[in-house]
Amino acid sequence: MKRFLLLVLALGIACAPQKSEKEQLAEQVKQEFLHAWNGYKQHAWGDDTLKPLSKSSKNWYNTSLLMTPVDAFDTMLLMGLDEEAAEAKELIFSELSFDHDFFVSNFEITIRLLGGLLSAYEMDGDERFLELAEDLGRRLLPAFDSATGMTYGRVNLKTGETNWQVNNPAEIGTLMIEFGTLTKHTQDSVFYNSAKKAMMGLYERRSEIGLVGTTIDVETGEWQNKEAHISGMIDSYYEYALKSWLLFRDEDFRKIWKAHEPAIEKYLLDEVASGTWYGRANMDTGERTATTYGALDAFMPGVLVLAGDIETAEKVQESNFKMWQLHGIEPEGLNYVDMEITSAGYPLRPENIESAYYLYQATGDEKYIEMGKVMFQSLVEYCKTEHGYAALSDVTTKEKSDDMESFFLAETLKYAYLLFADDKVFDLDKHVFNTEAHPMRID
């Protein structure tokens, strides 16, 4: 009898479902998320972000706007971290107020906080998230008050004063998903219409060859810097043109994307010996101005997947991964012709892993899991600290800096988790991610 029981036990163990490598990786990402969140809890609770080396905290402005908890909340829900989500929620409802007399970045506050509150509302259903989002949205509206409809970069949350008249396409054109979703839930069209007007204002000022530059005066509509690229200061304008169409099915957004897509391919896409990259060019002539690429540019394969151009997406992602492997973790800037670093930091950015996630969703090719695994493991190896995760000031020396951006929890670990997790965890076909990885439901 005893022998029989032992046999049954042994068979039971042998038949117990083994966790696949992907499931194990997803679990590891979740544990690393918890490690980073616990660092925030221990040393930065109630403030905007954790300073992981000095074990302290910092605020963006003179009062905390709870950047990390709001940005991280929907990742917790996706990971099934219900206890952590409940404590973040309690903190948000007891502490978060936007009634402050200081200027904020309209773009950053929109993508991180407005986006975070709206996805929290859609996923959790608590009306208080929507109330906060609406209050914030109304306080940001004065930023749209310019002669062209394009937004000022900074707005005072209490007085509605604005400044930062010379703004850039990313900050003007990365508001539609959040303000459009706010209209959907409040039925007040002012949000959708304002964000659309800002985006159309930019689109109407594209060059004859279909590109936009780096900075523009929102009162005069004159371009101040005419360098075109897909990097920081322009990047998510293109992302939002396509995604706004997918989310709202408004043909005007498709028109914007379709006007820019061929120009980006013709003048910015660059096939050289080291791979396929995006360079920089003059927006009027298309003449190459620089061959620099970097961590921020790495978002493009993800957008190309949504646009249906898998072939280009795959080629650029090969280059993205090459950039990552050059020093074991990607630099902020790289000259892709001589492969020399132009900017050595790594602030825990998500874009490379994000693109691997989209490509895996589209192709099912295991090589994207392998890429994600390498990227995730190097994050753990080089950026993990005793009390969280730290940015690198130099990817060649791996020297750390005292900073853990909220997008590490909102985006980097979310995309890593979703790349490895079971498909049932999240349905990409029914959502559009804002540029801070906050999912908005398509319906």
Binding stretches for ligand DMJ (CB under 6 A): 111, 236, 296, 349-351, 407, 411, 435-436
Nearer to ligand DMJ, 207 or 228 (CB): 228
The residue among 32 and 239 lying less far from ligand DMJ, judged by its C-beta, is: 239
Q: Which is nearer to ligand DMJ, 71 or 314 (CB)?
A: 71
243: Cβ contacts below 8 Å, ≥ 6 apart = 177, 303, 306, 432, 433, 434
CA quadruple 202, 207, 212, 214: dihedral sign: negative
d(CA 33, CA 410): 10
Judge whether 92 and 132 are in contact, CB under 8 Å: yes
Alpha helix ranges (H) inside 80-167: 82-95, 106-108, 115-124, 127-140
101 is an active site residue: no
Nearer to ligand DMJ, 109 or 207 (CB): 109
SS3 325: helix
Torsion angles phi and psi, residue 85, rounded to 5: -60, -40
Q: Which of 151, 236 has the CB closer to ligand DMJ?
A: 236
Among 47, 178, 330, 332, which one carries the catalytic annotation? 332
The answer to whether 137 and 179 are in contact (CB under 8 A) is yes
Min CB(208)–ligand DMJ separation in Å:
28
Q: How many CB atoms lie within 10 A of CB 370?
A: 12
Given a contact cutoff of 8 angstroms between Cβ atoms, the answer to whether 199 and 176 are in contact is: yes
Catalytic residue among 235, 354, 405, 411: 235
Closer residue to ligand DMJ in complex, CB, 298/371: 298
Nearest-angstrom CA–CA distance, 347 and 62: 23
| Annotation marks residue 351 as catalytic | yes
Catalytic annotation, pick one of 351, 354, 405, 436: 351
Min. distance of Cβ 188 from ligand DMJ in angstroms? 26
Nearest residue by C-beta to ligand DMJ?
Answer: 435
Active site residue 332: yes
| Positive/negative CA dihedral, 238, 145, 71, 443 | negative
Burial status of residue 6 (CB atoms within 10 A of its CB: 0-12, 13-18, 19 or more): exposed
Q: Give dist(CA 426, CA 115) in Å, integer.
A: 18
Rank residues 275 and 350 by Cβ distance to ligand DMJ and give the closer one: 350
Shortest gap between Cβ of 6 and ligand DMJ (angstroms)?
Answer: 55
Shortest approach of ligand DMJ to residue 242 CB, angstroms?
A: 14
Tell me which DSSP letter residue 150 carries.
P
**Among the options 23, 27, 108, 145, which is catalytic?**
108
Question: Per DSSP, what are the bridge partners of residue 57?
Answer: 50
* 134/351 with CB nearer ligand DMJ: 351
* Cα–Cα distance measured from residue 87 to residue 89, given in angstroms and rounded to the nearest whole number: 5
Could you tell me the smallest distance in angstroms from the CB atom of residue 28 to ligand DMJ?
22
**Residues in CB range of 299: below 8 A, 6 or more apart:** 235, 236, 239, 351, 354, 355
From CA 350, how far away is CA 345, in angstroms rounded?
14
Instruction: Tell me how far, at minimum, the Cβ of 435 lies from ligand DMJ, in Å.
Output: 4
Q: Which two three-digit tokens encode residue 83?
A: 């206890």
Q: How far is the CB of 247 from ligand DMJ (least distance, A)?
A: 16
Q: Which residue has the tokens 């590109």?
A: 211
Least Cβ distance, residue 187 to ligand DMJ (angstroms): 28
Residues involved in catalysis: 108, 235, 332, 351
